[in-house]
Structure 1
Amino acid sequence: MKRRERTRQLIELGGLIAKADLVELTGDDRAVILGLLVEAAATLRGETRARQLTLWRRRGKRAFDSGEIG
């Protein structure tokens, strides 16, 4: 059961990358996509973590609500 849950989580996360148009915008360059994610992780390790999470959460919710993604 754990394996199935993990597989579902990975599929959903991949879907978010696709919905954000990162596949298209990067020409499916996985090194670029990983670089973007590593940069985001570095930001979350910094002093602006709480502020950045708030901004990204708001932007994400707006994108889901408006259907502007994907």
Structure 2
Amino acid sequence: MPASPTTLTILALALLDAALLAVLAAIATGLLARTDGASIPAALLRAGAAFGATLTVAAALLALLVDALT
């Protein structure tokens, strides 16, 4: 069964929300690492790891939700 445009729009917005959540987690992690005394490259590495982990978990949860609803 083909997906309706409404379903695709909701999925796109959910992916956008997941990316925004990952960016916010990365910013918070980078700032906290920097205030803890980490160098700028170390803080960026921690922020990148937080971004990747958050986006991975959010995408996995979205895939699980889509699978459960279809």
TM range (shorter): 0.3 to 0.5
TM-score by length of 1: 0.38
Which of the two has greater helix per residue? Answer: 2
Q: Which structure has the higher relative contact order (CA within 8 Å, separation 6+)?
A: 2
Bigger-Rg structure (1/2): 2
